Amino acid sequence: MHPFPELAKKAVEAYCTDGVILDPPETLPAEMQRRAGVFVSLKKDGALRGCIGTFAPTTGNLALEIIRNALAAANEDPRFNPVSAHELNQIDYSVDILSDPVKIQFLKELDPKKYGVIVVKGSRKGLLLPDLEGVDTAEHQLSIARMKAGIDADDPDVEIFRFTVDRYR
């Protein structure tokens, strides 16, 4: 397992078994010292069990961002109950490190297999990661992101951004 999902797993296990918020490693590997948006996804028996993230960095480094978002995915995703200790051996972890978002003008600039999308209107934002099962067109990807943000499907007054991810499992 790559160090990113391994750190997410350790964070969730420490919290679920001992109620402890894991500290990042004392000596951070170079790859964990940078800052970026991070999404942590939990799957149980192949089905989504939690997914929370940040499209821009909110902490001082990737290690802190991974720990924070892993705990949020396990305990704060409103679609699921918090992860319990008896589930831990059934959960698979993935960590997506996001590139900086780039504003786009045209739908043809999206490719749901390659790019994630962020839709913004005022304070409302909806994000959808790339390469998700069942999301095969830019139109479908955009409609899901709009729905997540509570933005009407026909509202032309939105900003659209795309980003790439490095996915670690």
Banded model confidence at residue 135, pLDDT cuts 50, 70, 90: very high
E runs forming strands in 31-158: 38-44, 47-53, 91-98, 102-104, 116-121, 124-128
**Is the domain of 82 the same as that of 13?**
yes
- Number of neighbours of residue 104 by Cβ within 10 angstroms: 15
Q: Which of 54, 72, 98 is the last residue of a domain?
A: 98
Q: Domain of 155: which CATH number?
A: 3.30.1490.150
Return d(Cα 91, Cα 134) in angstroms, integer.
21
Q: What is the pLDDT of residues 9-58, one digit of tens each?
A: 999 999 999 999 999 999 999 999 999 999 999 999 999 999 999 999 99
**pLDDT at 168 (0 to 100):** 98
| C-alpha distance from residue 149 to each of 62, 91, 107, 121 (Å) | 26, 28, 18, 8
The SS3 call for residue 124 is strand
Contact partners, residue 74, CB within 8 Å, separation at least 6: 12, 15, 16, 42, 50, 82, 83
**pLDDT at 129 (0 to 100):** 97
Q: Domain of 43: which CATH number?
A: 3.30.700.20
Return d(Cα 84, Cα 13) in angstroms, integer.
9
**pLDDT at 9 (0 to 100):** 98
β-strand 47-53 against 159-163: which pairing, if any? unpaired
Residue 51: which domain range? Answer: 3-98
**Is the domain of 7 the same as that of 79?**
yes
**pLDDT at 136 (0 to 100):** 97
Segment 117-123 shows an average pLDDT of 97
**Is the domain of 60 the same as that of 32?**
yes
Contact 163, 100 (CB under 8 A): yes
Q: Which two tokens stand for residue 68?
A: 């924070």
